[in-house]
Chains A and B, each alone.
Chain A
Amino acid sequence: MTLPEKLREYVEKFAEEKGLSKKEREALLKKAEEYYETHQVDPWEAIGIVTAQSLGEPATQATLRTFHMAGAAEVSIASGMDRILEIVDGLKKISTPVMFIYLNPPYNKDEEKAREFARSLEEILVMDVATVKEDFMKRTITIVFNEKELKRRGVSKDAVIKKIEGKLKGELDEKTGNYVIKLPKDMSLMKIRKLAQSIERLQISGVKGIKRALVRKEGDEYMITTSGTNLKAILKKKEVDHTRTYSNNIHEVAEVLGIEAARYLIIEELYKAYMGAKLLVDKRHLALVADAMTARGVITPIGRTGIAGKKGSVLARAAFEETNRHLVEASVWNEVDYLKGIVENLIVGLPIKAGTGRVKLKMKLG
């Protein structure tokens, strides 16, 4: 058994740094190979259950601990648990969507430029800078500008008006500074209300879906974190380093960057969540979860709607949840259970096909 390329490179680099002789280097490599071999999972070991236990036990402990510390406000652990569930359940709408945008030079070295770019990302709607009022008697829609907000967000009145004019023509009331749109007398009230609402939601500038964008210094460069995500639109911008930018929404990443990227993201996000709760978990367990969730090419949640509900065996599915449904459907579709998994064999009363149950002995002849 030889080491995988990456590990081998790592060991060689280590040897070089320490200035080992050729003989020592070979000895080290041999030792590393030995170690690698002994630390591999044995054939037919039930890694699924080991993973489930390794992830479940610390999570249970953490939950118990939060209840135990009732009063001592330790919200971070609870929120960490919520995040783990969010990932494992493969939720499409996550509670805190965040994007990490890395920038191309020169933006990543200049704080002012980065800040300016960040501001340009924030989505601004008409309703953020003005109030839209409809008058059903006079059949008019009046846009009352909020000067304070306009200034804070760095939006000019003209830009807003220009955006509105793209939809409907009106005129600026010089006295009040409001923008008034006159509508035909025969327009229905319902239509007026709908029109007003669509004006409210007109986007003036920024990227759709991004609520806030903050500049942060990471190492020696500036980067942007956002609340609200829109990976597809952000990656198109020339200021953005598209090789490193990502969001924490697994479904979005799977769609934009592909399922492999999503797999990697699941591992990293789970790791972050466990580490945040100060729970040490081996990354290989997380990798197995991520593999299982992405193996079908789409994000499959863990649970009865996902992996457990899509098992090949009728008996295994029926043993988990929704027993009646699975049994009835299996009978309707004439399903066959080949007794290949563990649960099926337990139900039927046969030794499981894992661990020592998988091994068969043959007589050595002669």
Chain B
Amino acid sequence: MGFENNDKAKGYWRENLRLVLSLLAIWAAVSFGCGILLVDVLNEVHFMGFKLGFWFAQQGSMYVFVALIFVYAAKANALDKKYNVQED
């Protein structure tokens, strides 16, 4: 067992799930949300020469995906340190 006690193990997993779920919420919002479900509404807005919904579908969502993974990696590593379960 890598954790000092059971509560710590539960706490770590709870925080990890919260982190993953909140990032996945952004993931779904930019792709399924802005790029698909809301595309017609957002297309009324113009952004750098693009219709905004179209931009999310063919550009924006991909930039956000990249950022999400780097944010996740940094936060997950910090979480490991907080609970002292990082690799040696």
Tell whether A and B belong to one assembly: no
Interface residues of B (CB under 8 A from A): none
- Residue numbers of A with Cβ under 8 A of B are none
